[in-house]
Amino acid sequence: MLINKAKLEKILSKYPSISNPKRQYEQYETPSSIAASMLWNAFIRKDITGKKIADLGCGNLKLGYGALFLGAKLVVGVDIDESLVGQAESILRDLGGDYSAKTLLINSDIRDLFINSVDTVIMNPPFGVVRRNRGLDILFLKKAMEISESIYTIHKYSPRLTRIIEELANAFGFKIIYSEQLLFPIPMLFETHRRKIYRVKVIFYVLKRKQ
């Protein structure tokens, strides 16, 4: 397969958008440019092709689809919103091929999730900006550390959260091998939004379990 990051971004840009996003779940779609960066990083580090991948807080499975396109053996998509799990199932059916056969979709709260180990987690978890979701981004990261060897994830930037993630990685036996600050564009989706677009500082992390 002849592929590069630019081609991957173009393919992801054609993936259907989330229908009827819900504010309480912070359903902000991962921009294709950021999704491509995450997936390409994992691909060149040999953490996708032939591997079992989990997409936690998968939404309609944009990241999971990208992993399948890059040759993942299996993708496990997990989301609390049953309607988005249904959207993902419908999209995969429409795409045809063996995408559906290589995907396991689970409707579950991350706090109640029990799944077998995977090789890699690639995720865009809730940032925890909605009051009821405070700390949820860290719960997602803890779950990823429990079930995988490699993690590709994005988190809202703050010096305090950066320290927490560094401490958590050390406690769980992981090492941050790469980090990059990005601007995550969030369009005007909900009634609480007052701007056409918000650009949120995030950090893209790559973590590996220490050998």
In the chain, what are the domain boundaries? Answer: 28-209
Of all residues in the chain, what percent carry a pLDDT higher than 70? 90
From first CA to last CA, the distance across the chain in angstroms is 31
Which of 146, 152, 125, 137 has its CA nearest to residue 48?
A: 152
- Per-residue pLDDT at 174: 98
Which of 18, 20, 119 has its CA nearest to residue 61?
A: 18
Residue 25's pLDDT band, with cuts at 50, 70 and 90, is low
pLDDT tens-digit map of 134-165 = 778 999 999 999 999 999 999 999 999 999 99
Flag whether pLDDT at 49 surpasses 90. Answer: yes
Q: Fold for domain 28-209?
A: Rossmann fold (3.40.50)
Does this model's pTM top 0.85? yes
Flag whether pLDDT at 108 surpasses 80. Answer: yes
- Per-residue pLDDT at 188: 58
Range from 3-7, 25-29, 137-141, 205-209 carrying the lowest mean pLDDT:
25-29
Only one residue has tokens 């010096």, namely: 159
Dihedral pair phi/psi, residue 58, rounded to 5°: -75, -15
